[in-house]
Amino acid sequence: MAIGPVPWLGPLLMISLWGSSAPASLLRRLGEHIQRFQESSGLGLSLDQGGVALPKERWLDQPLDPFNASDRRSFLQRYWVNDQHWTSQDGPVFLHLGGEGSLGPGSVMRGHPATLAPVWGALVIGLEHRFYGLSIPAEGLDVAQLRFLSSRHALADVVSARLALSRLFNVSFSSPWLCFGGSYAGSLAAWARLKFPHLIFASVASSAPVRAILDFSEYNDVVSRSLMNTAIGGSPECRAAASAAFAEVERRLRAGGSAQAALRAELGACGSLGRAADQAELLGALQALVGGAVQYDGQAGAPLSVRQLCGLLLGDRDNCSRPAPYRGLRRAVQVVTHSLGQKCLSFSRAETVAQLKVTEPQVAGVGDRQWLYQTCTEFGYYVTCEVPGCPFSQLPALPSKLELCEQVFGFSASSIAQAVSQTNSYYGGQTPGATQVLFVNGDIDPWHVLSITQPLGPSESALLIPSASHCLDMAPERPSDSPSLRLARQNIFQQLQTWLGLAKKSQVRGGV
């Protein structure tokens, strides 16, 4: 019996990694929408005729500050367990790591690692990231609390969870633990193996942007190329139409008056467009809309694919009442906002800042404040369009993105740049030196340029899937999956087979 929509299911994959102004909010909600669609549709969770029940949420008491033994404060971290395929206590454990959003029971029931578990009799555990979903400390999200939110804290949670859950479920000392994750959680999976190889036997890191970067102009380079990619429905004409649509938006913004008022109504800008900062919010949201069509191209539940977006932008070029590209962009806005159940595409800058300053978890959205904090203190990832050849508006520029960190948290631009540099020094960027990690990416995903797409050595493997979007390898299988995606999943299976064969030999010799 299939179950209907399940609104309590959180996203499994990365929602979006952009810093949390209006563009980021749109991409985060796109990712959330896609994941919920996949989990509540025929592709998602179901109760079969045998009456397999959904796993219940469980809670693990974790230290708030794992690096200070004298600090006795703790928080409850949410997790799920699927033991229906676990055949013996010395079988492998597949640990699915959560990222910058809520996790749900789907993390242990659908997609990999869940689909891989029956083959090896694996225990599957899904661990929600601290400060996201319901794993938020009781004291809230003020800056004093957010000091305990970082990738290093998250990795410490992985270590303590691995030790605590081994005891709780009586997992054999010799059982290999393998980490899985997508996007930021994919980076965490790789870093868990890098920093704790004695505890994590191997990792599969999907769409993992392991290189932190302040000015991520390369994101739009990939978007631009993808709009021209005929294999996914793009064309040079489509890219030119996108550029023309943005030029028309900027012309109307400059014109002011009735042209600007009409633009505000047509493109779902809630709030004044009189200030340059407010105009930048709208232009950034429009960039995110186009970027989202590329980032999530071909995924079940995505409102727009590249092919569909290009169809709208090219449109009816015989109709001269309005420029066809602008008309198509307007229609694309309607499609996306309707799919997300949103009235507005963008808000004023002041309203964006006010929303990000809210510290009460119950009204703080899907983690926008928390993720902005992590971009300000660790990663950057600020997408810009200031280089020659970028088809969109040059607004919002990098300074306005860095200013958001100052407005919300009081961080200076120099401190953010230093934090990004320290992150790469600590983890190694795109040469981390981790063994037994498989990096999986799609070549139309804008984030693949920050990941590892070529093998770095015999035990540092990489797959680059042609015409695949963000974390597509982790999604539930579909009949429409491309041959290259099917082959990539076979390669992931074969890599796991190799690793678990090594683990079995180690068990026979007396331990890993």
Distance (Å, whole) CA 92 – CA 412: 45
Distance (Å, whole) CA 250 – CA 308: 23
Residues ≥6 apart with Cβ < 8 Å to 256: none
- 78 φ, ψ (degrees, to nearest 5): -85, 145
Q: Which of 157, 368, 445, 473 is catalytic?
A: 445
Partners of residue 460 on adjacent β-strands: 437, 457
Residue closest to 19 by CA, chosen among 400, 423, 449: 400
The whole-angstrom distance between residue 79's C-alpha and the CA centroid of its chain comes to 19
Q: Which of 20, 183, 348, 467 is catalytic?
A: 183
- 6 φ, ψ (degrees, to nearest 5): -125, 90
For residue 485, what is the enclosing H or E element? helix 483-509
**445 in active site:** yes
DSSP 220-232: HHHHHHHHT-GGG
**470 in active site:** yes
Helices 22-40/276-295 angle, 10° precision: 30
Distance (Å, whole) CA 174 – CA 510: 8
Q: Is the distance from CB of 86 to CB of 40 less than 8 angstroms? A: no
Beta strands 93-97 and 74-82: pairing type?
Answer: unpaired
Q: Which of 33, 112, 153, 470 is catalytic?
A: 470
**448 in active site:** no
The whole-angstrom distance between residue 298's C-alpha and the CA centroid of its chain comes to 16
Distance (Å, whole) CA 426 – CA 456: 18
Kindly list the catalytic residues.
Answer: 183, 445, 470
